[in-house]
């Protein structure tokens, strides 16, 4: 592992810092690399990464352009978070950024996410990408990515998650997510939101004179995403509409659909092995686990086994009973991640007879 990555991991341990002032200050001191980018910002609770990846693939294939993609978290290494046309940033590029701006990062007391967000802007500007797809991290209104001036915003499904930070109601969480909406910048979202979420998004768009574009079933006709599950069809519809809006060419609909179908995004109902069937999924909140359960129940297996690990501060009480009913055996474990949920806490979610 490079010294620059070691350094980034060392500041990751300092935790989350909400607010935009440090990011703006760091961005300015690094030459404001975001200013020259055509940015599509994506926020939501679930589906942000998948939708971002499908938008990126659609633009890359249909336009034959250079497309930047910034997502979080990573599965194996930090490099995955910053990609151009699917290729992760090299260690040497990370080393270069840290060499140039480490002093700036330390003077601003910037967090890991603030630093890596600016690194993404810097990398995309350096390589002159045609579009940059930026996935919002936590929330929206106070997330580092929100310092940018996007040409389009996209909001995926919204549900309860990080309630200790974002709020304890769907309305409060929706207000945080809708904080990415910018004046006079179109916003695309799904039509399946509950009423209280729709009202927040509509209100925010009206206040900022931002055109609201709704993705419905008609945007999913002929779509067969390679990413499996009902939720991914919804995400694919969002991606299709985002790409169509950007290129403004109705004749490209089928080409956009075919491009989206080529998207590969690990850890989303991913079939690792077919015989016996092994599925890997990164669901980490109630809505995500509910989607995972729907997918699992589409398979007729004699026996089902679940290996489960969660990060701390995740509340899955409502889904634990359902998981217990579906799986014949559940194996609970901890990971090497410092934020892993202790076994005893994880066990407390499940019925005592398991």
How do residues 254-269 score in pLDDT, each as one tens digit?
999 999 999 988 888 8
Structure letter (DSSP) for residue 64: -
Cα 151 from Cα 273, distance rounded (Å): 40
Question: Is it the case that residue 130 has pLDDT exceeding 90?
Answer: yes
pLDDT at residue 172 above 60?
yes
Question: Mean pLDDT lowest for which of 59-73, 158-172, 318-332?
Answer: 158-172
pLDDT over 70, % of the chain:
97
pLDDT digits (tens, 9 = 90+) for 38-59: 999 999 998 999 999 999 999 9
Give residue 228's pLDDT. 81
Rounded Cα distance between 93 and 25, Å, is 22
Is the pLDDT confidence value at 138 over 90? no
Q: Across-strand partners of 133?
A: 40, 69
Paired with 157 in beta bridges are 46
Give the separation between CA 69 and CA 134, rounded to whole angstroms.
Answer: 6
Q: Which pLDDT does position 161 carry in this prediction? A: 67
Average the pLDDT over 264-281 and give the result: 88
User: What are the residues facing 340 on neighbouring strands?
Assistant: 311
**Helix residue spans in 179-296 (DSSP H):** 195-207, 230-247, 253-261, 286-296
pLDDT band at 145 (very low <50, low <70, confident <90, very high): very high
According to the model, what pLDDT value does residue 311 have?
A: 83
Q: Please indicate whether residue 349 or residue 12 has the higher confidence score (pLDDT).
A: 349
- Residue 326 makes CB contacts below 8 A (sequence gap 6+) with 293, 296, 297, 304
pLDDT, residue 1, reads 56
Mean local confidence (pLDDT), 191-206? 95
Contacts of residue 252, defined as CB under 8 A and 6 or more positions apart, other chains included, come to 62, 244
Tokens representing residue 3 in the block:
């010294």
Write down the residue that tokens 């603030």 correspond to: 114
**What's the pTM?**
0.88
Whole-number pLDDT of residue 354 = 56
């Amino acid at each position: 592992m490079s010294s620059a990555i070691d350094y980034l991991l060392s500041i990751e341990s300092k935790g989350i810092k909400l607010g935009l002032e440090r990011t703006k200050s760091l961005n300015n001191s690094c030459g404001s690399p975001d200013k020259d980018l055509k940015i599509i910002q994506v926020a939501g609770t679930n589906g942000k990464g998948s939708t971002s990846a499908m938008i990126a693939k659609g633009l890359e294939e249909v336009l034959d352009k250079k497309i930047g993609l910034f997502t979080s978290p990573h599965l194996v290494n930090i490099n995955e978070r910053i990609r151009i046309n699917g290729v992760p940033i090299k260690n040497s590029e990370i080393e270069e950024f840290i060499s140039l701006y480490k002093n700036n990062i330390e003077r601003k007391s910037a967090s890991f996410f603030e630093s890596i967000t600016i690194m993404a802007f810097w990398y995309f500007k350096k390589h002159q990408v045609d579009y940059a797809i930026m996935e919002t991290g936590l929330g929206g209104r106070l997330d580092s990515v929100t310092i940018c001036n996007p040409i389009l915003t996209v909001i995926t499904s919204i549900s309860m998650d990080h309630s200790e930070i974002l709020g304890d109601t769907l309305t409060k969480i929706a207000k945080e997510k809708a904080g990415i909406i910018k004046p006079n910048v179109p916003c695309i979202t799904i039509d399946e939101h509950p009423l209280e979420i729709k009202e927040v998004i509509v209100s925010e768009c009206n206040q900022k004179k931002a055109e609201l574009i709704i993705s419905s079933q008609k945007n999913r006709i002929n779509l067969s995403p390679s990413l499996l599950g009902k939720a991914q069809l919804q995400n694919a519809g969002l991606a299709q509409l985002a790409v169509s809006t950007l290129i403004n060419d109705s004749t490209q609909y089928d080409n956009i659909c075919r491009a989206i179908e080529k998207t590969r995004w690990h850890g989303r109902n991913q079939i690792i092995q077919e015989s016996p069937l092994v599925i890997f999924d990164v669901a980490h909140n109630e809505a995500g686990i509910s989607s995972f359960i729907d997918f699992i129940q589409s398979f007729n297996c004699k026996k089902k086994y679940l290996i489960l690990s969660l990060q701390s501060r995740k509340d899955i009480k409502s889904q634990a009973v359902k998981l217990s009913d579906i799986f014949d055996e559940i194996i609970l474990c901890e990971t090497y991640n410092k934020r892993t949920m202790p076994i005893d806490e994880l066990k407390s979610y499940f019925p005592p007879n398991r």
